[in-house]
């Protein structure tokens, strides 16, 4: 079975982020097929198009773009802020999308998970991010949808792993579906090449 390198991008900088814990738990559930690494976005300077013309890019931009470019797939796990994508994640999306014609998101298979203590499970942020992925030409896993509501610190044990229950079962399902999604995209591209 193929092992895919997955870049995890979390839309929260909070130390105890539930989204970060979900992303970690999910990768652990498919350890045999997904080789996950966290790509940090908190140090990316706010995107400014003037940077595109500079001979040297900000160091954090280069590090971030190289990490994403090396990945076989992207797992976004994000909170919703005011019914939308948190600014820090939108900034990372913009940084990766430029300079024009050099987007590192191009054609990367992805999955989007949003988690919230609220009932709607970050639906607004999830779909706003999907909208950006359409423009960026990223094939995003459609099902199962992942608007994880009622997620709190209590959903995790003291090691930050998901406790047994329906949420953990759903996240395990997502892990397997995401592996199969990335696998299908890469295999069909290889067959067409």
Interface residue list for ligand FNR (CB under 6 A): 12, 14, 17-19, 79-83, 116-118, 120, 122
Cβ 51 to ligand FNR, closest distance in Å? Answer: 27
Nearer to ligand FNR, 97 or 116 (CB): 116
Q: At what angle do helices 123-135 and 87-97 cross, to 10 degrees?
A: 10
> Residue 139 or residue 149: which is nearer to ligand FNR going by CB?
149
- Cβ-contact 75, 179 below 8 angstroms: no
The conformation of residue 84, written as its DSSP 8-state character, comes to: B
Closer to ligand FNR by CB, 82 or 143: give it: 82
Nearer to ligand FNR, 129 or 182 (CB): 129
Kindly state the smallest distance separating residue 53's Cβ from ligand FNR, in Å.
Answer: 33
Q: Which candidate, 74, 76, 109, 106, places its Cα nearest to that of 185?
A: 109
- Spatial distance between the Cα atoms of 122 and 93, rounded to a whole number of angstroms: 18
> At its nearest, how many Å lie between ligand FNR and the CB of residue 16?
7
Q: Shortest Cβ distance from residue 159 to ligand FNR (Å)? A: 17
**CA separation for the pair 113, 149 (Å, rounded):** 11
């Amino acid at each position: 079975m193929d092992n895919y390198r997955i870049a995890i991008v979390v839309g929260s900088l909070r130390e105890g982020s539930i989204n970060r814990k979900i992303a970690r738990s999910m990768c652990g559930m498919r350890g045999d097929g997904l080789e996950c690494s966290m790509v940090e976005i908190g140090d990316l300077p706010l995107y400014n198009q003037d940077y595109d013309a500079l001979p040297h890019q900000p160091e954090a931009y280069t590090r971030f773009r190289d990490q994403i470019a090396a990945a076989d797939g992207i797992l976004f796990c994000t909170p919703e802020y005011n019914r939308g994508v948190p600014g820090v994640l939108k900034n990372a999306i913009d940084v990766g999308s430029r300079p024009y014609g050099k987007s590192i998101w191009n054609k990367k298979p992805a999955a989007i998970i949003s988690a919230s203590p609220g009932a709607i499970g970050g639906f607004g942020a999830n779909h706003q991010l999907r909208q950006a992925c359409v423009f960026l030409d990223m094939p995003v896993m459609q099902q199962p949808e992942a608007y994880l509501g009622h997620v709190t610190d209590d959903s995790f044990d003291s090691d930050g792993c998901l406790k047994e229950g329906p949420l953990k079962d759903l996240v395990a399902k997502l892990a397997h579906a995401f592996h199969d999604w990335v696998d299908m995209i890469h295999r069909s591209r290889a067959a067409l090449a």
